[in-house]
Amino acid sequence: MFNLLHRLSSPPSFFAFAGRALPWLLGGALLLIAAGCYQGLVVAPADYQQGDSYRIMFVHVPSAWMSLFIYMVMAAAGAIALVWRIKLAEVIASASAPIGASFTFLTLVTGALWGKPMWGAWWVWDARLTSELILLFLYLGYMGLESAIPDKRSAARATAILALVGSVNIPIIHFSVEWWNTLHQGATVTKLGAPSIHPSMLLPLLLMAVGFKLFYFANLLVRARCQMLEREQRSHWVSTLIKEAA
């Protein structure tokens, strides 16, 4: 297992592996997202309180889960990069940031589009919304700091520290609906005990969640391949690869 991981973390084998895994990940993601949209928009019944507006949940909640998950990947990869200086970890952390920022943006905007008809306001300064907005600023700050440092390796170290410090925000977002009085509803799926959501609504939610996750991995591989080519353009393996293709 460790041997396999070690082999995979070398840039040339990662580059080849990513190329092979990509079509499967993307295909799976598209299939699951299409099925999730069909189940969520057509098959699932309207909510007895919120009518059809609740269907925004099938985009909003998986995006929100991804915004937290990607941040944790970024912070973990950053920690690995800090301690062991593994290039692949640096690349994964840096390639994750724009995808995480995208999902955080999507969470905030779909939340506003759901909040307006249900709460009567696009935005309220409550704990859940504010901490998610801070998450967006953390992602943007990460990307800004990275682009401000020309040397990739020192940029990776500085941004890893930022990601690790910012990770205190993750439990705050998750527990914000329990710690503070808020308009935002509590957890219905990720709580202890049985989820308080009907199976016909849980199915599209899970399809979309897994679809988004596969999409993240596929997207991560494309971005990581691109960064690998750039960082390693003078290395032997890249020139061999290019010579074969030329």
> Which of 32, 44, 56, 127: binder of other proteins (CB under 8 A)?
56
Number of residues counted as binding other proteins (CB under 8 A): 41
Q: Are the C-beta atoms of 235 and 57 separated by less than 8 Å?
A: no
CA angle 110–196–104, rounded 5-degree value: 25
**Could you tell me which stretch among 46-54, 125-133, 154-162, 185-193 binds other proteins (CB under 8 A)?**
46-54
- In the bound state with other proteins, the residue whose beta carbon lies nearer, of 81 and 216, is 216
> Which of 39, 55, 131, 205: binder of other proteins (CB under 8 A)?
55
Burial of 237 (0-12, 13-18, 19+ CB in 10 A): middle
- Does residue 220 sit in helix, strand or coil? helix
Give the rounded distance of the alpha carbon of 175 from its chain centre: 19
Residues facing residue 51 across a β-bridge = 47
- In the bound state with other proteins, the residue whose beta carbon lies nearer, of 37 and 79, is 37
The verdict on 243 binding other proteins (CB under 8 A) reads yes
Rounded to whole angstroms, the Cα distance separating 209 from 197 reads 15
**Could you tell me which stretch among 82-90, 100-108, 180-188, 196-204 binds other proteins (CB under 8 A)?**
100-108
Q: Are the C-beta atoms of 208 and 33 separated by less than 8 Å?
A: yes
Rounded to whole angstroms, the Cα distance separating 105 from 98 reads 10
Q: Considering only residues 111 through 150, tell me which ones interact with other proteins, judged by CB under 8 A.
A: 113-114, 116-117
- In the bound state with other proteins, the residue whose beta carbon lies nearer, of 150 and 193, is 150
Q: Hunting for tokens 């990940």 — which residue is that?
A: 25
Q: Cα-flanking dihedrals φ and ψ of residue 51, to 5°?
A: 60, -140
**Could you tell me which stretch among 68-76, 94-102, 139-147, 177-185 binds other proteins (CB under 8 A)?**
94-102
Rounded to whole angstroms, the Cα distance separating 110 from 61 reads 9
**Could you tell me which stretch among 56-64, 139-147, 182-190, 196-204 binds other proteins (CB under 8 A)?**
56-64
> Which of 8, 43, 46, 121: binder of other proteins (CB under 8 A)?
46
Rounded to whole angstroms, the Cα distance separating 47 from 198 reads 10
The verdict on 105 binding other proteins (CB under 8 A) reads yes
- Which residues lie near other proteins (CB under 8 A)? 26, 33, 37, 41-42, 46, 51-53, 55-56, 59-60, 63, 98-99, 102-103, 105-106, 109-110, 113-114, 116-117, 215, 219, 222-223, 225-226, 229-230, 233, 238-239, 242-243, 245-246
